[in-house]
Amino acid sequence: MLLDEDAIAEGLRGVEGWEWVPDRREIRRSVRLPDFVSAVGVVASVARVAEEVGHHPDMDIRYDRVVFHLSTHVAGGVTAADLDLAGRIDAVVAAARPAG
């Protein structure tokens, strides 16, 4: 079920660094990793998680930065599945970053 802007805003309170992009009807997060290999590793880990849950983000890699885009295309915007996957992506990113 497609979420309205209030539900999206509420859901974004539970995830780190995600923003609502209304003109694209998606949520997005950009993360910086230590280097290119780390960025590719995060993308590979997110791909495995996405396969497990059957929901797939768009991901862009620019050297040490990865941008995640989440939207449920068949619904035409953000659903609970996107917010769930955002939380799972947050866990992958947190595990990949060096402590401190």
DSSP state of 16: S
d(CA 5, CA 42): 29
pLDDT of residue 100: 59
What global pTM score does this model have? Answer: 0.94
Per the CB < 8 A criterion, the answer to whether 35 and 27 are in contact is no
pLDDT of residue 97: 83
User: What does the pLDDT look like over 20-75, one tens digit per residue?
Assistant: 999 999 999 999 999 999 999 999 999 999 999 999 999 999 999 999 999 999 99
User: What does the pLDDT look like over 71-98, one tens digit per residue?
Assistant: 999 999 999 999 999 999 999 999 998 7
pLDDT of residue 98: 76
